[in-house]
Structure 1
Amino acid sequence: MFRFANRVLMGFMVVAGLIPGDAGPAYAGEGQQLTLGRITQEPSKNIDRLNGMAEYLSAILAPNGIDAVKVVIAENPDRMGEMLRNGEVDLFSETPFVALDLMEAGLAEPLMREWKKGVAEYHTIIIARGDGEVRSLEDLRGRKVAFEDPGSTSGYFLPRAAMEAAGLALEKLDNPRSTVTGDAVGYSFAQGEINIVAWVNRGLADAGAISNLDWEDPK
């Protein structure tokens, strides 16, 4: 395996914005339940951290009339946007690119910068087999790369931007076994860093994009 493509990034805790005609966030007033959201297709991967965050918020917000903090999961950004419009979510934890889209839509406002696995910043790495032929972005022409999911900053947005900046054309594949057209870079979503490593190891992908934190500690 090898690593490269260093890009600094961070996460955000975002608060639901006021929508014209809306009565306001659900947490206004006393004796209320706060709803904490997250976009993920892997709830089991995020639920422990979210439950811990919910417990912490419940404790510190109790004097302000918050009785409980409930965790809700949205499977994609569109669903989160719908939940924000309907007042079903008060706060959500998300990666920068997805959070920015929802903020630009007027559905949310930044509240605080989040740390991931105890660090404030992390970056993307590209992994490939040590006995393979991929040693640089240029080597990806005509080959396949595994991204994490469409909402991942380190596992999709940043590596894709780096590849496009290097002049590579990306082609979404129906599945990892599909044939790549010409010298395009074919990509599929593996839905998790463990799957990305497995795809690269098994030859389903010539390279994969994950964060350095997930590479160093895949828990």
Structure 2
Amino acid sequence: MSNSVLKKAVLSFLLLVLPAALSGIGLPGSAGTAGSGRAEASSPQAAQEAPLRFGVLYLLSPKELYERWTPFAEYLSRKAGRKVDLVVPRNFDHLVELARSGQLDLLFVNPYVYILLKKEIGIEAVAAQVAYGNTFAPSHLIVRKDSGIKTLDDLRGKKIAFVSHLASSGYVVPRAYLMSQGIDVDREMKVVFTKNLPGTLLSVLNREVDVAGMCGVNYANLSRRINTEGVEILRTTEVSPRLPLVVRKGMDRALVAKIKTAAIGLKTDPEAGPTLKALDFDGFDPITDAEYDGIRKLARQTGLPH
């Protein structure tokens, strides 16, 4: 057979066979094709079964946060019938960023972050942390015993530490208290944000700052791990609601009800002992949005976003 005849035979074969073969092949990830990963992921059933992403407030080291919250995520998975994946953010701002971009379904946040995200993206509080038998907590102003600081007037011109500009009992409340006493924190003091709770307390102990504003519950918890004999509470300010457990806007109401029931039932569930031990607080109680109006008022009165 001549070369020209052979080429014509091969070409005819390809023209007959390739269209039929290609008709059963889809581009990788193209919608509607058999075996397409994207088509499977976008199906209603797959979306319904996707794990819930649970972001927690950055209060401790990532290792400590995983140890504290993984048992609770697993507990919610069992009670709600939906897998819950724990998400530990890099810091306060990262948690807010994840929530704003729709990457979280559940959050454990402080009251100030809650009111900001409630206004921006419509999150819903379903329960509030109970610590030391209460859903409310005071804020403390902490100084070294040998600092010579005895009155609020002694704080003028001094350096003060807060954990974050997004902290509630660790920034909004003590800042508002000082301003109510005639001390303009932003103008009369030098403000330092430590970005983690242990660092806030240690900054006073190590004489890096003169005073720190801290949540009373967090101070009590840290005092069990850090020797606080060298510091004292200069003032205790008004209380604020405890940290809420929240869900994203638009979550299925039946699923919200399961999550709320599971969280509130944690205190009385005989099987929840290991979970409560890991959390290191008493559990959760019901909460309403109106109970956070006090934080909104303080933020508004002191010129903070609200």
Q: Which of 45, 70, 73 lines up with 2:85 in the alignment?
A: 70
Aligned to 1:215: 219
Structure 1, 78-87 or 184-193: larger mean CA deviation: 78-87
Matched pairs, number: 179
Unaligned runs of at least 5 residues, structure 2? 1-43, 226-306
1:112-145: per-residue Cα shift (whole Å, max 9, x none)?
A: 2222476422211111111222123222101111
Q: Which of 67, 71, 85 lines up with 1:48 in the alignment?
A: 67
Contact conserved, 2:100 with 2:121, CA < 8 A, in 1? no
For residues 6-25 of structure 1, the aligned pairs below 5 Å read none
1:180-205: per-residue Cα shift (whole Å, max 9, x none)?
A: x7xx1111012333322322222211
Q: Which of 200, 203, 207 lines up with 2:204 in the alignment?
A: 200
Give the secondary structure class of the aligned counterpart of 1:208. Answer: strand
Give the secondary structure class of the aligned counterpart of 2:137. Answer: coil
Unaligned runs of at least 5 residues, structure 1? 1-25, 172-180
Q: Give yes or no for the alignment of 1:37 onto 2:55.
A: yes
1:77-98: per-residue Cα shift (whole Å, max 9, x none)?
A: 6544543354321110100011
Q: Which amino acid aligns with 1:200?
A: V
Deviation at 1:76, TM superposition (A): 5.2
TM-score (norm 2): 0.52
Q: Which amino acid aligns with 1:210?
A: M
Could you tell me how far apart the structure 2 residues matched to 1:96 and 1:27 are? Answer: 35
Could you tell me how far apart the structure 1 residues matched to 2:117 and 2:110 are? Answer: 11
Could you tell me how far apart the structure 2 residues matched to 1:133 and 1:192 are? Answer: 26
Q: Give yes or no for the alignment of 1:105 onto 2:120.
A: yes
Could you tell me how far apart the structure 1 residues matched to 2:56 and 2:128 are? Answer: 15
Aligned to 1:169: 184
Q: Give yes or no for the alignment of 1:128 onto 2:147.
A: no
Aligned to 2:104: 89
Contact conserved, 2:137 with 2:215, CA < 8 A, in 1? yes
Aligned to 1:146: 161
Could you tell me how far apart the structure 1 residues matched to 2:146 and 2:64 are? Answer: 31
Give the secondary structure class of the aligned counterpart of 1:46. Answer: helix
Give the secondary structure class of the aligned counterpart of 2:161. Answer: strand
Specify whether residues 157 and 43 from structure 1 end up closer, same or farther in structure 2 by C-alpha distance, changes over 3 A only: farther
Percent sequence identity is: 25
Give the secondary structure class of the aligned counterpart of 2:182. Answer: coil
Could you tell me how far apart the structure 2 residues matched to 1:199 and 1:78 are? Answer: 21
Could you tell me how far apart the structure 2 residues matched to 1:153 and 1:100 are? Answer: 10
Structure 1, 80-89 or 209-218: larger mean CA deviation: 80-89
Q: Which amino acid aligns with 1:153?
A: S
Q: Which of 189, 193, 206 lines up with 1:189 in the alignment?
A: 193
Specify whether residues 34 and 131 from structure 1 end up closer, same or farther in structure 2 by C-alpha distance, changes over 3 A only: same
Contact conserved, 1:193 with 1:214, CA < 8 A, in 2? yes
**Two-structure CA RMSD over aligned residues (Å):** 2.7
State which structure, 1 or 2, has the greater radius of gyration over its C-alpha atoms.
2
Could you tell me how far apart the structure 2 residues matched to 1:78 and 1:126 are? Answer: 24
Deviation at 1:29, TM superposition (A): 6.9
TM-score (norm 1): 0.70
Contact conserved, 1:84 with 1:107, CA < 8 A, in 2? no
Specify whether residues 40 and 28 from structure 1 end up closer, same or farther in structure 2 by C-alpha distance, changes over 3 A only: farther
Specify whether residues 109 and 163 from structure 1 end up closer, same or farther in structure 2 by C-alpha distance, changes over 3 A only: same
Contact conserved, 2:91 with 2:195, CA < 8 A, in 1? no
Could you tell me how far apart the structure 1 residues matched to 2:96 and 2:207 are? Answer: 37
Aligned to 2:76: 57
Aligned to 2:295: none
